[in-house]
Each structure stands twice: as structure tokens, then as C-alpha cells.
Amino acid sequence: MNRKILLLTLILSLTTLIAFAKTTITCSGSTTVLPIAQATAEAFMDGHPDINISIRGGGSGVGIAALINGTIDIACSSRPMKSKEITQAKSKGIEPIPYAIALDGIAVVVHPSNSISNLTIKQLKDIYTGKIKNWNELGGPNLPIVVISRDVSSGTFEVFNERVMAGAKVSSSAQLLASNNAVTTTVSTTPGAIGYAGLGFVSSKVKSVAIEKIIPSEQTVKDGTYKLARKLYMYTNGKAKGAVSQYIAFIQSPQGQKIVEKQGFISLN
Amino acid sequence: MKGIKEKTFQAIAYIASLLTAVCLIAIIYGIFYDGLPLFKFISWKDFLFTNNWYPVYSPPGFGAWALIMGSFYVTLGALIIALPLSLGSAIFISEIASPGLREIAKPVIELLAGIPSVVYGLFGIAFLAPLIRQWFSLDTGLNLFTSSLILGIMVIPIICSISEDAMSSVPHSIREASLALGATKSETIFKAVIPAAKKGIIGSILLGFGRAIGETMVVLMVAGGAAQIPKSIFEPVRPMTSTIAAEMGETIMGDLHYNALFALAIVLLIITFFSNLITEIVFRPKRQK
Amino acid sequence: MNRRKGKNTFWIMMMILMLIITAGFLVVFIVRIISLGAPVLSWKFIVEPPREAMTEGGIFPALMGTFLLTALAMIFALPSGIFTAIWLTHYGKPQWLVNILHIIINTMAGIPSIIFGLFGMAIFVNLLGFKVSLLSGSLTLAILALPVIINNTEQAIHSVPADFSEASLALGATTRQTISKVVFPAALPNILTGAIISVGRVAGETAPIMFTAATFYSRSLPHSLQDEVMALPYHIYALMTEGTHPESQVPIAYGTALVLLILVILIDATAIIIRSYMRKKRQW
């Protein structure tokens, strides 16, 4: 009895849905790129009502894995693909093509009450390996350092790992959070915390510190003086075609880049 | 002589059962198939007993000790919180409350048992964790303590409902006999009713254990995410379930990290199987009575 | 004697205290969700899709997604589960097969939901190539629900007095007729209750759909089985952990949680009401 009712309801809803056929673009990956993807997708869909874009986060690693597994159209990544990943992709018949869609600087943030305003790369590394345990070792307040990092799928983590840690292991007492936002939220409510996040996530709730005396800004990212500057990418399988290439072209267009800047990131040119 | 209708009906039922069997066996098979290859790379002893979970480094580390202990700590904490509260409530509802109160309480508990875990997770991450951080002046509220607390609350309806069932099925004659002999109400409860309901109560605790150790969303959102053995209850932990959930998206089919997560699933499967087995043994003699 | 009376009072007080603390926790919990979720709730919230990077608008796609996932999962799981239970109770031969099936089903009933999600991702999304979709998600959820439905249906059938089927068979009815005309209708209330509660459980599950069906943001509704869907429980999780603008998104998460809560409670309450109504009507 209730089976029949369920079946009936489902058929009814499916028929109403099929009436609205659309092309769908599936996109997944970096939580850094997520706000850009969402904002540009909304603008793009406003202009192209016959195209639907479905966006998921999960971290750059998730997006890249999905691309390699062949289950996604666009992989959003806040880091370039590793050669190991490219080999894996090719062995599965996938040809990853990168499209840069924005520039970003990974900001190192602390609690607004923290007096520290500059760190060297070496100090940053020592903090994250757990060698330096208290802020007073750096001339700051007498407060144990609470290390906030990102989990394994994070592209932001990979870039940080490459430029700062140079392969050294992050201390096991570091908290591994799932997104840029989780990092800034945690740092903003924890006086002894230190974390890193894309520039678009830095708000007045946290304090951004200079790295090697350089503050991350549009200037220092574009001219490369900020050590943790990076490009944000969208990867496709083979050259982008059809709706996918329209969408990516939109993001790279002046209109799209304005949206990039509105989200707090840096345009490509 | 079996007619066509009879044979078809029986065949449908049989096929359904085979389908079920295939699906469920496929899961067990699949988990082992994708998990065992890890042990070509690392011995199962190292996997279980070393604390070295660095799956994306080169060379990768797959020592899951901290994760396994994380699961046990969180579950233990949850049971410590849940047991007195749920058993106390169960005793109250079954033995002390008026029938009217009981009529209301039972459905309410059943409803509470159905609340989705992600809602508990939301409560934990958005409300309880900051509160605990403030109260205890900690670095973070996302830790073993908070997640045990939420997990405990989640498990209370299960333990309470089943224990209460067990206690109310104890024949009235036992209570009446105890009271007739001059025992007080509480003595009757502790010395007559509970021992008689012992099996059901233990069974409910085992079910609560199984629920807690298998819970994913709450620990994913609230336990903190540090793969370490906590030195205090206020430090973050990372149970096996949240590790799987956090890392499964970024694994590529067939690579070592993928195998490692399935290996964790094997551990969870084995724990669940034994917990179930013990529950069966505890409950079965009761049925034969 | 007074000591014993004192102990008695003490323990009774303790029990009451336990109940009060438990009730207290749960009240705080529910009140919190309601107070933070209710302000966000409105008719628009339910029927509109999200806008402005999910800081405004509604959760309609998530509501539809949850509905579709649940409905499909039940369509897959209910017939298979019920027929499996029928086979186990009326046709089960050989005995060793029945026993093994029981062991497997009971083990499955206790497995953590994330393992179903992992399996679903490996088999449906990757191996079979269904990708992250309504199909993958509902199949995963169906397998999750199967053991519970089977156990519940079996119990329901067992609770029908044996005299019923014996009388039916004595009158010359076949097994099939006995099942469909006598046993099943008698067991129906309990089967129904169990099925409805499974619906509630499936609707609230997050872990199995995290990597098999759910998406963070999609504007239009799914128009085929291969589309990704938004879902209420995943929406809550995603907003809290990956949300890009927490000030406006945390309240939306509470609102979504409230909607989910109301949905699940309505479903479970329906089951409980049906069960007690049918119990009163029962003639044995």
C-alpha cells in the first residue's frame, strides 16, 4: 500500500523534473576556490538559464581524485597537480589540463590579541613541527602555541607544506581542519592559535602576520615578493569544451575577475 | 502440486534473499578486498600498534594506533556519561513513574532516538564547544571531552529505551514478592528487578557501545581532528570513523591511502562483529527461557 | 529501618536526578535548535534555492534531494527486504543458509554508516561508474536500510500468532495465499511502523551520501538519476565545516537542522501513532 503511494509520488515528481532538462557541469575540490566557484557559478547561471552548475568542496585532493576517477567535469585546485597524480591520471585515460582562474596569497593568521606581527619561514616551520611551543620564545605573549593546520585533502596545506615545511612533518598535536573557514573561525576564537588560509578568508576577526617582513596583498602577490603566493586552478579532462569552457572563460573574463576580487582574492592580471 | 503462482511467489522471495545475501556479502568482501593490500606495504602489527598516521607524505605512514585509541576513548567517555543517566532514567520510568508519565516518556524517548547525528554535531560545534572552551579556559572546545559528552547524550535514548523494556518485562510477581518480604522500593529495584533484567540491560549497553564507536558525523565535527593520543580529556582526538570520512574523498581508487582507509574499515567491521556476537550470546539464553 | 528508608529515599532521588539531567540536556539541545533555527524559517526558506553564495535564499534543492534519495532508497530496499523476510520465515531451506543469512544481516545492522559510504563510493561511484549521483546515493542508502527492514519484518511476522497460519493452511490455502492474505495483513502495522522509522533514519543520514550523492551547491533540481543532489543533512555539515560566510550561514544551518528535525519527528511520530492505533484495533 505505502509502496504504491511512494511509487506514485516518485513518478509524479520525476515527470515534473524531466520537464526541466538542463546541461549540468559538476565541479569539486578546493575549499579555497569554493567561494569563487560559487559566486561565479551564480552569475554565470543567471546569464545561462539552460546550464546548471553543481559545486562541492572537500579539498583540492578530493577534486583531483574525482577528476582522475573520471567522476567530475572540473576539479578546483589551490595547487598544481603533482607529477605522481598526472601519471596516475594518464594511466586511467584522463588528460588533466590546468586553467588558472585567480591569484591568491596564503595568509598566516593569529588571534588579534597576539602581539607578533612578523615571522620568518624558519620560525613558521619550527612552530608547525612543534619545535617552538610557546609564543614567548618569539618575543610574544606567554601563551602555548595552538597549531592549526589543514587535513590531507587540502591544496592550501600542500602549498604550505612545500614552501614552509619542505617535507618536515607537522606536529601530531596540530588540529587538522577541513576548510579555510574552519581555520579562521578557530583562530579568531583561540588566543594562542596560529593558522593559514587563503587571502579571501582573512577578515578583521583574525590578524594576518607578515612573512619575511612582507605583508600579503594584491601588490606583493602579483609581483611575487610574498613568499606564499600561488595560482588557483580549475582542471579539466582534456581541453575544456562546451558549457565547461564557457564557464571557465567567464571566470577568466573581466566580469568574472571582478567577482574574484569581490570574494577577496586577486585577479589574474 | 504447486501452481504457477505459488512457484513464482516463492521464487521472488528466494531471489530477494539471494540479492540481499549478495549485497551484504559484497560489502564484507569488498572491504577485505580493498583493505588487505595495505598489508603488503606495512605489517598488521605496525598498522594497529604504531602511532604514525601520515598518509600523504613520502614515504607514507599508516600507523593507526592513535586513531583506534581515539575511537575507544570517545566511546568510553560516551558510555561513562550515558550509563548513569540512561539507567537512572530507565529505572525511574519503569519502576517509579506513574503510568501516565510512562505513557508520555516512552514515545518521547523513541522520538529522541531518531534525531539525526548531524544535528547533534551542529549543536556540538556551534554551541557546546565554544561554551566548554570558555568554561574551562581551553585552547579549543573541539576535543575528547566535548565529543564524549555529545555522543553520550546521543546514546542515552538507546540504552534507556531497551533497559526500560527489559525492566518492565520483569514479572510483577518478583517485585511483589520482594516488597512483601519487607524490602524498600530501592532495594527491590537493585536486588530483584535489575538482576532479573540483567541480560537486557547488558544488551542495551552493548548496543550503545556499537552505536558510539560507529558514529561518524558527531566526531567528525566535534572531536578536533588531531591524530594523537590525548594527554588529557581536553585535547582533540581523531577516531577511525572521522578519519575515514575526512580522507575518503581524496583517495584515488587502488592507491595505498585508499587501501589504508579500507583497512580501518576492516578494524571497525571486526569490532562491530564481536560486539554483535557478544550481544547475541547475552540475549540468546533469554529467548530460550 | 530508618537507615534503609533513608537509602531508599536517596536512591529514588538519584533516579529522579538522572532523569532531570537527561531531560535537561535534551531540552537545552532542542530549545537551542529551535531558537536559532526558527528565525530563519519562512515559506521562502522552504521553496527557494540558495542565493548570494548561500548567504540568502532557501534550501528547496536540499529538501527535494533528501526526498528523492529517501524515496528511491525505499523503493530499492522495501520490496527486497520484505520478500527476504518472507523467505526467511516461510520458505527458509536449507537451515544453514538461513543461519548464515541471519548472521550476515545482524552484522550489517551494526556496521557504522561511514563504511556503507566508503563501499558505495568504491563500488557505485567509481567501479560501476555511476558517479556521484542520486543513483549511487540511493543504492548506498538502500543497502544501509536493508538489514533493519529485514529484521523488523521478520519480527513482525513472528509476532503473528501461529494459529493464524495453521488455520489457513488447514483450510487448504497454499503458503503463498496464507502469507498474502493472512500473515502479511496481520503483520502489516508493525511492518509499516518499521518501514516508516527506516524512512526517518535514511533521511537523516549524512555519512553514506557524503561522497556518493551530495553536493554543496546546485541551483536547479536534479532531472535524472545521474545528477548530484543537495541534501538536508549534508547541507548542515557542509555549511558548518566549509561554509564561506559563517555569519549568515550558521543561522541557515540551524534552520536546515530545524527543518530536518521536524521532518524526522513527524515521520517517527506518524509511525508511533499508526502502531498504537493498530494495536488498539488488534483482535488478539
Residue B50 touches chain A, beta carbons under 8 Å: no
Assess whether pLDDT exceeds 60 at residue B286: no
Shared domain check, C108 and C30 = no
Domain count, chain C: 2
Are C158 and C18 contained in the same domain? no
A102-138 tens-digit pLDDT: 999 899 999 999 988 899 999 999 999 999 999 999 8
Question: Which chain C residues have a beta carbon less than 8 Å from that of A56?
Answer: 132, 214-217, 228
Contact list in A for residue B54 (CB cut-off 8 A) is 169
Amino acid at position C81, single letter: G
Q: Is residue A225 exposed (0-12), middle (13-18) or buried (19+ Cβ within 10 Å)? A: middle
Angstrom distance (rounded) from CA B289 to CA C102: 21
Task: Kindly give, in sequence order, each residue whose CB lies less than 8 Å from that of residue A103, ignoring residues fewer than 6 positions away.
Answer: A221, A222, A229, A230, A231, A232, A265, A266, A267, A268
- Total-model pTM: 0.87
The 10s digit of each residue's pLDDT in A135-173 is 999 888 888 898 999 887 888 998 999 899 987 888 888
What does each of the 269 residues of chain A score in pLDDT, given as a tens digit? Answer: 456 666 666 666 555 454 445 788 999 999 889 989 999 999 999 999 888 899 988 889 889 999 998 889 999 999 999 998 999 899 989 999 999 999 998 999 999 999 888 999 999 999 999 999 999 998 888 888 989 998 878 889 989 998 999 878 888 888 888 888 888 888 888 888 999 998 888 888 899 999 988 888 888 888 888 888 999 999 999 898 889 999 999 999 999 999 999 888 988 87
Residues C49 and C134 in one domain: yes
The 8 Å CB, 24+ separation contacts for C243-250 are C243/A179, C243/A181, C243/C54, C244/A34, C244/A35, C244/A38, C244/A181, C244/A201, C244/C53, C244/C54, C245/A35, C245/C53, C245/C54, C245/C55, C246/A181, C246/A185, C248/C55, C248/C56, C249/C54, C249/C55, C250/B126
CB C59 within 8 A of CB C45: yes
Question: Where do the DSSP E strands lie in chain C?
Answer: 50-51, 56-57, 217-218
- Per CB-CB distance under 8 Å, the chain C contacts of A38 are 53-54, 217, 244
- Confidence category of residue B288, pLDDT binned at 50, 70, 90: very low
- A190 touches B: beta carbon within 8 Å: yes
The answer to whether residues C56 and C35 belong to one domain is no
Chain Cα centroid distance, residue A40: 15
- How far C190 CA lies from chain B's nearest CA (Å)? 15
Across the A:B interface, residue pairs with CB atoms under 8 Å apart total 73
ipTM of the complex, rounded to two decimals:
0.88
Domain that residue C11 falls in? 2-40
Task: Based on the fold, state whether residues C148 and C236 are members of the same structural domain.
Answer: yes
Residue B253: its chain A contacts at CB < 8 A? 69
Which of C112, C146, C26, C97 shows the shortest CA–CA distance to B75? C112
Whether B122 and chain A come into contact, CB under 8 Å, resolves to no
Q: Which residues of A touch B225 (CB under 8 A)?
A: 151, 175-178
- Do residues C77 and C184 share a domain? yes
pLDDT at position A185: 84
Closest-CA distance of chain C to residue A66, Å: 9
- CATH, residue C99: 1.10.3720.10
Touching C: which chains, 3+ CB pairs < 8 A?
A: A, B
Looking at residue B184, its pLDDT comes to 83
pLDDT, one tens digit for every residue, chain C (284 residues): 678 888 888 888 888 888 888 888 888 888 988 998 888 888 888 888 888 777 777 888 899 899 999 999 999 999 999 999 988 888 887 888 888 888 888 888 888 999 999 999 888 888 888 888 899 999 999 999 999 999 999 988 888 888 888 888 888 888 888 888 888 888 888 888 889 989 998 999 999 998 898 888 888 787 788 888 899 999 998 888 877 777 788 888 999 999 999 999 999 888 888 888 877 777 65
Please check whether residues C114 and C234 belong to one and the same domain. yes
Do C169 and C36 sit in the same domain of this protein? no
Considering only the beta carbons, identify the residue of A153, A172, A192 that sits closest to B139.
A192
Domain identity same for C91 and C223: yes
Q: Do B27 and C106 touch (CB under 8 A)?
A: no
Whether residues C26 and C136 fall in one domain:
no
Mean pLDDT, chain A, whole residue set:
87
B247 and A CB contact within 8 Å: yes
Residue C54 shares a structural domain with residue C34: no
Assess whether C203 and C187 both reside in one domain: yes
**Residue B245: closest C-alpha in chain A:** A58
